[in-house]
């Protein structure tokens, strides 16, 4: 596996004088490192699910590119397969998408000082999903300001390519994949998310946020499924900010 361990923590010196095109390319190339491969593996699972549910290959790839967030894709396919109405399916999808709001808000300050059109910004935020967020969260602070937007756009497009091709591969290949291998591939995703959070950890607040979120996630899922992730974020994040502050003074 091609790794780039912890590179995000070192100032990216060789990137200092990059042009926007080169920064975009650097971002795009990340699709062939660990995060891209893990996303590819997860998308294989989605492709298989989509096929089982009766989607065509075109639908599967379209959905991966247009939504570009695996939980929402899985929920939508599941709703359609159960014969839910479009409105009910849309509502379920919207609930999974609320989590993208804090992720988007927390990445945007990195792009603040750059001149870019609204259209380009709307395109850029399309690529905010968990994988791009964890990568952006740990890499953008070390990226020179003037190349952050093209770098992230490259990263996002690269990850979208991986998830789309992964779902296409899964659509064709997953029927022949042994179940134990499918389970192993699926398991790589939570492990990756957690380790990437550790890599992006910069402050005491981050550390407490990870611990609080990890603790609250499963509990709130049992108590309030549907709102659990949002509440986990709000409660865990607030605890982290308050506790992080107390620790500093």
Partner 1 sequence: MSAILDDGFGGYLVLFLAGFLAHEPWRWLGLLLGGNLSETSPVFVWVRAVATALVAGLVMRLVFYPAGVLTKVDLPLRLTGIAVGTLVFFYAGRSLGLGIFAGAVTLLAGVVLFGRPL
Instruction: Tell which positions 167-226 bind partner 1, by CB under 8 A.
Output: 178-200, 205-206, 208-218, 220-221
Taking phi first (over 0 means left), then psi (-120 to 50 degrees means alpha), and beta for anything else, what does residue 83 get? left
Give the whole-angstrom CA distance, residue 189 versus residue 117: 34
Nearer to partner 1, 173 or 234 (CB): 234
8 Å CB contact between 187 and 179: no
Give the one residue of 12, 27, 99, 157 binding partner 1; rule: CB under 8 A. Answer: 99
Minimum CB separation from partner 1 for residue 25, in Å? 21
8 Å CB contact between 126 and 66: no
Q: Which two three-digit tokens encode residue 197?
A: 């959070």
Of the candidates 159, 208, 154, 205, the residue with the CA atom closest to the CA atom of residue 42 = 159
Give the one residue of 90, 173, 223, 224 binding partner 1; rule: CB under 8 A. Answer: 90
According to the binding rule CB under 8 A, does residue 116 interact with partner 1?
no
C-alpha distances in Å from residue 228, one per residue of 20, 84, 101, 223, 224? 39, 22, 15, 8, 5
Q: Report 128-167 residues binding partner 1 (CB under 8 A).
A: 128, 130, 133-134, 137, 141
Window 37-76: contact mask with partner 1 (x via CB under 8 A): -x------x---x-xxxxxx-xx--xx--xx-x-xxxx-x
Q: Where are the beta strands (DSSP E) in 82-217?
A: none
Give the whole-angstrom CA distance, residue 45 versus residue 39: 10
Minimum CB separation from partner 1 for residue 67, in Å? 5
Give the whole-angstrom CA distance, residue 9 versus residue 17: 19
57-60 CB contacts, 8 Å cutoff, 24+ apart: 57/168, 57/171, 57/172, 60/167, 60/168, 60/171
Minimum CB separation from partner 1 for residue 18, in Å? 20
Minimum CB separation from partner 1 for residue 215, in Å? 8
Minimum CB separation from partner 1 for residue 72, in Å? 5
Minimum CB separation from partner 1 for residue 15, in Å? 18
Give the one residue of 23, 44, 89, 149 binding partner 1; rule: CB under 8 A. Answer: 89
Q: How many residues bind to partner 1 according to rule CB under 8 A? A: 118
Q: Which two three-digit tokens encode residue 123?
A: 């395109």
Nearer to partner 1, 34 or 163 (CB): 34
Nearer to partner 1, 3 or 17 (CB): 3
Window 227-246: contact mask with partner 1 (x via CB under 8 A): -xxx-xxxxxxxxxx--x--
Nearer to partner 1, 96 or 147 (CB): 96
């Amino acid at each position: 596996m091609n790794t780039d361990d912890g590179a995000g923590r070192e100032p990216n010196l060789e990137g200092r004088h990059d042009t926007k095109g080169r920064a975009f390319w650097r971002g795009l190339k990340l699709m062939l490192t660990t995060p891209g491969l893990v996303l590819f593996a997860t998308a294989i699972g989605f492709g298989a699910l989509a096929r089982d549910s009766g989607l065509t290959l075109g639908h599967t790839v379209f959905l991966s590119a247009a939504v570009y967030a695996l939980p929402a894709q899985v929920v939508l396919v599941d709703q359609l397969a159960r014969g839910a109405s479009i409105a009910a399916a849309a509502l379920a999808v919207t609930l999974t998408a609320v989590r993208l709001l804090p992720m988007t808000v927390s990445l945007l300050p990195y792009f603040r000082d750059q001149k870019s059109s609204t259209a380009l910004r709307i395109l850029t935020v399309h690529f905010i999903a968990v994988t791009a967020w964890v990568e952006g969260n740990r890499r953008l602070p070390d990226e020179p300001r003037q190349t952050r937007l093209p770098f992230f756009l490259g990263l996002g497009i690269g990850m979208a390519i991986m998830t789309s091709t992964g779902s296409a591969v899964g659509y064709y290949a997953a029927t022949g994949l042994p179940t134990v291998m499918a389970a192993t591939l699926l398991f790589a995703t939570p492990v990756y998310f957690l380790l990437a959070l550790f890599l992006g950890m910069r402050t005491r607040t981050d550390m407490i946020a990870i611990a609080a979120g990890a603790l609250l996630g499963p509990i709130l899922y049992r108590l309030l499924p549907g709102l659990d992730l949002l509440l986990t974020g709000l409660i865990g994040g607030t605890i982290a900010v308050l506790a992080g502050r107390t620790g500093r003074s």
